[in-house]
């Protein structure tokens, strides 16, 4: 490969990564439409040499900003694209996060039966990771990820009218949120358990 071609490819890689980071910064400042524009440019700038991890991250951010903008169909599409990449590369935690979001968005759209297989798989991955002897390097505790998955499963059961089936999920989610130090999660779980007891 000629020097010019190598330089151009390096610039393209930097551009995709840089646009992704700028999009995240815009999203953090709640500039949603601008963030989406930057993420779309990052997707356009992406080349296979950038690697699947960057590709998946771009889809995740496109899914996140689409959800924030109320474009749920687009959000599901991007999270599913990210999930496919993570599945192909064997990145199990990335896969679990992506399909958990897919399940939660579908739940919000009332597509309960479609959402359930995604959350079942996500919970299984989180449980396996908790039981694994392999080191975990994520920024958030595994207990929090599992609690978030259980929360979605519980809400799905409630929306399906299966309130009794939701109770074990809320109990475990409550305990895991407590371990993770997430008071809001503990409070929400307790509220649902109290409502079930009152009913």
**Considering the domain boundaries, does residue 122 fall inside one?**
no
Sequential DSSP letters for 7-28: HHHHHHHHHHHHHHHHHHHHHH
**Considering the domain boundaries, does residue 123 fall inside one?**
no
**Considering the domain boundaries, does residue 11 fall inside one?**
yes
**Considering the domain boundaries, does residue 83 fall inside one?**
yes
pLDDT of residue 14: 60
How open is the CA angle 143-76-108, to the nearest 5 degrees? 70
**Considering the domain boundaries, does residue 139 fall inside one?**
no
pLDDT of residue 2: 46
- Round the average pLDDT of the chain to a whole number and report it: 92
Q: Which domain holds residue 36?
A: 1-90
CA-closest candidate to residue 144, choices 173, 102, 110: 173
> Which tens digit of pLDDT belongs to each residue from 147-159?
999 999 999 999 9
Domain with residue 10: its CATH number is: 1.25.40.10
Domain count for the chain, please give it. Answer: 1
**Considering the domain boundaries, does residue 5 fall inside one?**
yes
**Considering the domain boundaries, does residue 184 fall inside one?**
no
**Considering the domain boundaries, does residue 48 fall inside one?**
yes
> Which tens digit of pLDDT belongs to each residue from 126-136?
999 999 877 77
């Amino acid at each position: 490969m000629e020097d010019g071609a190598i330089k151009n490819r390096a610039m393209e890689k930097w551009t995709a990564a840089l646009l992704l980071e700028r999009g995240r910064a815009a999203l953090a400042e709640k500039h949603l439409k601008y963030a989406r524009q930057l993420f779309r440019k990052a997707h356009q700038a992406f080349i296979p040499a950038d690697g699947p991890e960057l590709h998946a991250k771009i889809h995740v951010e496109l899914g996140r900003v689409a959800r924030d903008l109320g474009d749920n169909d687009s959000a599901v599409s991007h999270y599913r694209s990210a999930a496919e990449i993570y599945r192909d590369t064997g990145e199990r935690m990335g896969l679990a996060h992506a399909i958990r979001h897919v399940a939660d968005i579908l739940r919000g759209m009332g597509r309960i039966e479609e959402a359930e297989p995604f959350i079942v798989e996500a919970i299984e991955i989180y449980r396996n990771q908790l039981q694994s002897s392999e080191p975990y390097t994520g920024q958030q505790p595994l207990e929090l990820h599992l609690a978030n998955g259980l929360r979605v499963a519980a809400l799905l059961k409630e929306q399906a009218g299966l309130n009794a089936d939701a109770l074990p999920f809320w109990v475990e989610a409550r305990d895991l949120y407590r371990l993770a130090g997430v008071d809001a999660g503990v409070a929400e779980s307790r509220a649902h358990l109290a409502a079930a007891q009152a009913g």
